Chain A
Amino acid sequence: MSDENENRDMLICRCEEVTLGEILDAIDEGFVTVKDVKRATRAGMGLCQGRSCSRTIARIISERTGKSLEEVLPKSYRYPVRPEKMGAALSREGEDESNN
């Protein structure tokens, strides 16, 4: 990540197609946690919900601000863990089964 200026156009969030430049701008505006950056740029708000990029974003913030990874990484997560089709979440087949 040494050539940050050269690579501003490089994607960081694959899903929402958010670039390094957009993320650096948000950090410079004062958004200094992965959650802050996510809400400010949509990076990590796509289909995978940041499963591939949140660690990268944490590293970028950490390098840019000197904060530790622990300070910038999210410590809570929202469910569901994977995208689930709504129809699959609907039916409750089997829930009447008695304990065995």
Chain B
Amino acid sequence: MSEVREKESRLKVDGAVSLIELHETVEYILPDEHYDHPVAVIECIEGIPCNPCETACPVGAIVVGDDITTLPVIDPTICTGCGLCVAACPGLAIYLKQQHHSDGLSYIAFPYEYLPLPEKGQAVTMVDRRGQHVCSGTVVRVIKTKRFDRTAIVHATYDSAFYEDVVNMVRL
């Protein structure tokens, strides 16, 4: 990525966190790490006073610590991919992701707080952190439980060539 593009896409200028910024943070799971199930990817790079992700995790995979402005650190080897942190994060900054899910497809579960909700099997357009259309995707399931408190979690698969870019879908 050229220097200019990097500048343009800084979080505090563009609004979206850039891949360069993400790669520099310890809690981010790099694409070359492979897991056999989707694991939580945390895109929270500012020390805001907040720790619901740590509280929500049933297996202790996420650590914030006593100082709640510390950035959360996830241990993907412990993460079971249950998705509770995805719905708990007030900043909607956590996804479940798996690069090699099946047949050249990546897997994502992301929080979605718009209406209407997509349906299982529906073809949707996946977007990157800047809202750019990246590729098509297929909704695998939509989970909306009382515990998630009106934050729906949409699970989808998409072309793994765009594994890192995709974070959400175009609103319906």
Indicate whether A and B are direct neighbours in the complex (CB within 8 Å). Answer: no
> B residues within 8 Å of A by Cβ?
none
Q: A residues engaging B (CB < 8 A)?
A: none
